[in-house]
Chain A
């Protein structure tokens, strides 16, 4: 099993450009998440999905859109990139079984630089 994979690993954008980050998981997990990580800020939730076809806003959703057309994929889109979106983006997934404990499994991250 590959676990959680992210594409691309690194990207440089100019202000105003658009791009899509792809997350894929092969663990048949129901829940998927997109986080951003900035120095000294920890991980902040952007958007999440509780199942195929569903999405919801997290803590810092502005400037981002997401889609979950297939259970195994979760896409994060930036329509018009801004320098403030320079960050490391992590995707994660979890089973969503209803159990009290819910471990999240993270992908390797995408480093995005917006000039």
Chain B
């Protein structure tokens, strides 16, 4: 089976840095993705890690350690518009594009 764990809620101050962790237990692993979803909106792709290390995309970075079955999303210079839910997702099988999603972390950015 597949299991992804991430904190349910995180609160951070505008302008600060926040890290959202994701640990996974899956029967296979072929990459960790991150999606953002604003209230009432659709999930949108943020980042993807197939190999260990850090991937940077503007203010957002994502890290993966396959040996630890662990990854995180790092958001820098937080803005109010970053208030949203963030989901990690794993592709557990090769040749398949199915994703197994975590339950999501609700990030609240406060002034």
Contact = CB atoms under 8 A, between A and B. Distances in A.
Contacts of A100: 30-31, 50
B101 interface: yes
Q: Which applies to chain B's interface (DSSP): helix, strand, loop or mixed? A: loop
A61 interface: no
A42 B99 contact: no
Contacts, number: 50
Given A40-B103, A48-B98, A102 B91 contact: yes
B41 interface: yes
Nearest to A90: B42
Nearest to A92: B43
A45 interface: yes
A101 B99 CA distance: 11
B87 A103 contact: no
A45 B98 contact: yes
Given A45-B98, A45-B100, A92-B43, 6 more contacts: A101-B31, A101-B50, A102-B97, A104-B97, A104-B99, A108-B41
